[in-house]
């Protein structure tokens, strides 16, 4: 019987080394650059290059990188044909957008000439393709759900603006583009989170990049991980449905106390590492609040409700919001359908996943932990 100590959920366990990201109580760093610095001063394309290639791009490198992404945005016909049916799958409740996205990435693997090649240059090419293609998958999927014609990618738009355009058919305002761009920067990487660890376990078997990304998408779907932004918005909708839209503090407090009594898990709060608050959250909250003020009273009230909920959680439970809480409100304010919140997370985190997969393949050892056995003592079958 194994007697070594263990940590439930691997909490606090150092499972590997990385040059990509450092998550601490008071900081989040991508390859040496702190997240607040990146959110204020770098575009998502610059951050994507930093994560995938390993250094800050020069102006020439950034221009070439952007051109590569634009050239890879269109999808193979087989994937387009699949996505034409995706609206029926979702509207008939056979699937959700994250399922559709996972399947689309899996199909893309069969159509990529580099799929079975785990060499660094091949992995980088595949990473760029997926980074470029995932917004198109999301856009076509949303068009299919709404019964609309598919929209071709717009080569004149940035990665963030094109993502919004693909879903809506309208070019976003500079303000909306900025909010989306910063949200993608904030979501791009977060060391050995559940989905990234999944990707590293798969790539540690020498599984291919598409396979590892497919597994990561499946992990991200869960409400305790990427799905938390959708769940947080659903929670606020529940509060509004129960108490009305007047944001009465007493009613909000009563609702929260009942949720505490029922031991309801309130999504968008708490973090395994950031015990005193996720410093990505106020960055996105500020941008979302500004967007709400531009949209009108209903959206301002949504943020005011969120702020009431946040204060009660902080004052009474000493639990702080993570980035998913303001993300839900911000994306709702931007008119993004709630089921697409987590797929948009994928459009960002593909950069972090791919960087980790390449790092794992470059210096690989099979990830195979032990487990503490707590079952019956040895016994005889014939007794």
For every residue of 234-293, DSSP letters joined together read HHHHHHHHHH-SS--HHHHHHHHHHHHHTT---TTB--SS-TT--TTHHHHHHHHHHHHH
Q: What pLDDT score was predicted for residue 1? A: 43
The answer to whether 358 touches 123, Cβ cutoff 8 Å, is yes
pLDDT surpasses 80 at 160: yes
Report which of 131, 115, 147, 7 is spatially closest to residue 66, judged by C-alpha positions.
Answer: 131
> pLDDT class for 119, splitting at 50, 70, 90?
very high
Lowest mean per-residue pLDDT among 13-22, 184-193, 349-358: 13-22
Query: In the beta sheet, which residues pair with residue 33?
Result: 30
Task: Write down the pLDDT at residue 43.
Answer: 98
383 pLDDT band (50/70/90 cuts)? confident
Contact 183, 7 (CB under 8 A): no
Domain range summary for the chain, segments of one domain joined by +? 41-222+336-362, 228-333
pLDDT digits (tens, 9 = 90+) for 340-356: 999 999 999 999 999 99
From the list 28, 80, 21, the residue with the least C-alpha distance to 52 is 21
What's the pLDDT at 4? 57
Phi, psi of 22 (to 5 degrees): -130, 120
Q: Determine which one of 190, 279, 324, 356 is catalytic.
A: 324
Backbone angle region of 379, left / alpha / beta, with phi > 0 → left and psi within -120 to 50 → alpha: beta
The residues pairing with 269 across neighbouring beta strands, listed in sequence order, are: 321
Query: In this model, does residue 267 exceed pLDDT 70?
Result: yes
Tell me how far apart the alpha carbons of residues 382 and 49 are, in angstroms, rounded to a whole number.
Answer: 62
Task: Summarize pLDDT for 32-60 with one digit per residue, the tens.
Answer: 999 999 999 999 999 999 999 999 999 99
Cα–Cα distance for residue pair 120/357, rounded to 1 Å: 10
Q: Which whole number is the average pLDDT over 20-29?
A: 89
- Cβ-based neighbour number of residue 228 at 10 Å: 26
CA distance 4 to 351: 36
Mean pLDDT, the chain, rounded, equals: 92
Q: Report the distance separating Cα 139 and Cα 267, nearest Å.
A: 26
Confidence of residue 7 (pLDDT cuts 50, 70, 90): confident
Catalytic-role residue among 271, 279, 356, 361: 271
Q: Is 54 within 8 Å of 124 (Cβ atoms)?
A: no
Predicted confidence at residue 2, as pLDDT, reads: 46
**Of 220, 88, 216, which is closest to residue 141 (Cα–Cα)?**
88
Residue from 97, 7, 77, 51 nearest 336 by CA: 97
Does residue 34 sit in helix, strand or coil?
Answer: strand
41-222+336-362 placed in CATH 1.10.580.10: yes
Is 185 in contact with 48 (CB distance < 8 Å)? no
Helices assigned H by DSSP within the chain: 35-41, 44-53, 59-71, 77-84, 86-91, 97-110, 120-145, 159-168, 174-187, 194-204, 209-220, 228-243, 249-261, 281-295, 297-312, 324-333, 341-362
For residue 295, give the nearest of 190, 176, 126 by alpha carbon. 176
Cα 265 from chain centre: 20
Architecture of domain 228-333: Orthogonal Bundle (1.10)
269 versus 105: the higher-pLDDT residue is: 105
Q: Which two tokens stand for residue 135?
A: 């917004």
Q: Annotated catalytic, 190? A: no
Is pLDDT at 122 greater than 80 in this prediction? yes
**DSSP, res 208:** -
* pLDDT surpassing 50 at residue 261: yes
271 is catalytic: yes
324 is catalytic: yes
How far, in Å, CA of 190 to CA of 197, rounded? 10
């Amino acid at each position: 019987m194994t007697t070594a100590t263990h940590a439930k959920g691997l909490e606090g366990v150092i499972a590997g080394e990385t040059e990509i990201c450092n998550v601490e109580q008071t900081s989040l760093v991508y390859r040496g650059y702190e997240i607040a610095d990146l959110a204020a001063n770098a575009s998502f394309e610059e951050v994507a290059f930093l994560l995938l290639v390993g250094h800050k791009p020069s102006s020439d490198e950034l221009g070439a990188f952007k051109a590569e992404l634009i050239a890879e945005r269109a999808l193979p016909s087989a994937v387009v044909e699949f996505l034409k049916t995706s609206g029926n799958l979702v509207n008939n409740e056979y699937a959700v957008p994250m399922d559709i996205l996972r399947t689309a990435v899996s199909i893309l693997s069969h159509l990529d000439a580099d799929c079975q090649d785990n060499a660094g240059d091949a992995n980088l090419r595949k990473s760029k393709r997926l980074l470029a293609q995932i917004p198109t998958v999301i856009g076509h999927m949303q068009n299919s759900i709404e019964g609309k014609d598919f929209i071709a990618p717009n080569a004149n738009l940035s990665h963030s603006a094109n993502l919004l355009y693909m879903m809506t058919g309208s070019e976003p305002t500079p303000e909306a583009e900025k909010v989306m761009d910063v949200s993608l920067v904030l979501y791009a990487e977060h060391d050995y989170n559940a989905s990234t660890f999944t990707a590293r376990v798969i790539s540690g078997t020498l599984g291919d990049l598409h396979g590892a990304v497919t597994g990561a998408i499946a992990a991200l779907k869960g409400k305790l991980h990427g799905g938390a932004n959708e769940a947080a918005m659903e929670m606020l909708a529940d509060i509004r449905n129960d108490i009305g839209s007047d944001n009465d503090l007493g009613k909000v407090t009563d609702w929260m106390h009942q949720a505490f009594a029922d031991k309801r898990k309130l999504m968008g709060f708490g973090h395994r590492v950031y015990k005193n608050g996720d410093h990505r959250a106020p960055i996105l909250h500020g941008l979302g609040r500004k967007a709400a003020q531009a949209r009108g009273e209903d959206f301002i009230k949504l943020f005011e409700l969120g702020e009431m909920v946040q204060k009660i959680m902080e004052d009474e439970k000493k639990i702080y919001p993570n980035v998913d809480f303001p993300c839900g409100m911000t994306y709702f304010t931007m008119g993004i359908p709630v089921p697409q919140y987590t797929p948009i997370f994928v459009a960002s985190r593909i950069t972090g996943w791919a960087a980790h997969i390449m790092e794992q393949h470059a210096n690989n050892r099979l990830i195979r932990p032990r487990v503490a056995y707590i079952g019956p003592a040895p016994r005889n079958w014939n007794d």
